[in-house]
Amino acid sequence: MKCPVCGGDARIIASSENKSVTVRCSIDGDFEIAKEHLDTLSKLNMGARHLVLNAAILLSVPGRLPRISAPAFERPSDFLSHSSGLCFE
């Protein structure tokens, strides 16, 4: 499959009851995405998709994979302002 974030080569390494998939991307690493959000993500431009992934990473629980779900879509601009000067120069 194509990575839903960067469009590069990626594969699904796990999937749970049609609810979410775990994607392994050589660029973005491993992350989960709820299947209902695959469509939403594909409609964003690449910069916005990376912001959503970044938000998911910041929201993730230690020891668990980042999960792209509703909260990551709701607040990416908050994370952008908090991290400006660190990651977005």
Q: Which is nearer to Zn ion, 27 or 70 (CB)?
A: 27
Residue of 21, 25, 33, 56 that binds Zn ion (CB under 5 A): 25
Going 87 to 34 to 41 to 27, the CA torsion angle's sign is positive
User: Residue 88: CB partners within 8 Å, gap ≥ 6?
Assistant: 80
**Per rule CB under 5 A, count of chain residues that contact Zn ion:** 6
Q: Does 28 bind Zn ion (CB under 5 A)?
A: yes
**20-25 and 10-16 as β-strands: parallel, antiparallel, unpaired?**
antiparallel
In whole angstroms, give the CA distance from residue 16 to residue 7.
22
Q: Does 6 bind Zn ion (CB under 5 A)?
A: yes
Residue whose Cβ sits closest to Zn ion: 3
Q: What does the binding site for Zn ion look like in residue numbers (CB under 5 A)?
A: 3, 5-6, 25, 27-28
